[in-house]
Amino acid sequence: MSDLSAVRSVLFLNAGLMSTNPPAKYSQANVRSVASFFPGAARLLDRYVLQVSKHLTDCDLVLVAEHGHGKTHTSIALVREMGHAGLSAIYVTAYDMVQALLAEESHQGSSLMSLLSEYDFLMVDDFGMTLFHDLDFEAANRCVAQVLEARYANGKVTGFATSVRSLSESDVYGVAGTPSGRMRPFKIELDAA
């Protein structure tokens, strides 16, 4: 294990993120398994991975489907495909990410924020408006905005999985909408593809 991967492992373990990266029950998730459920979506995901790996797009991705319709499976498959394409990629749930960032913030740390901004692709699962029920909603939104700003400053793309079909750009990026100079997010409705 390299020094950098050891540091990452310790950071994620301390932040409580290791258990969600990825959940063990999805250990076999891949694009072929996604294709068996969502053939149209699998083709779109393959194309997206290719464009990101060749730096042809800075477009973020939004996966939409009802609860229990394959968002997590697809998210993890996408992270694996990004890895196979030579990109650094990580999966995390929005709740765990925000909870860890808020805990780190209370200790005046920023190493987790820096780490999340380094990955070529960050997949944020369970993203939605009612997500942070036991956290300070404004603080949670601030954390998400800071992660996105840091990632965009580094030219990185981010994926979101949500069951909120009406999720707008302002829900994802804040009141300002899509950050200046970035393409609108590419949206795939899994149960419609």
Write down how long the chain is: 193
Say if residues 38 and 134 touch (Cβ distance below 8 Å).
no
The per-residue pLDDT for range 71-103, each reduced to its tens digit, is: 888 898 899 899 989 999 999 888 888 888 888
Range of the domain at 161: 3-189
What's the CATH number where 67 sits?
3.40.50.300
Work out how many domains the chain is built from and give that number.
Answer: 1
**Residue 9 pLDDT more than 80?**
no
Alpha helices in 38-181 (DSSP H): 39-53, 71-84, 94-106, 111-118, 137-153, 169-173
Mean pLDDT of the chain: 77
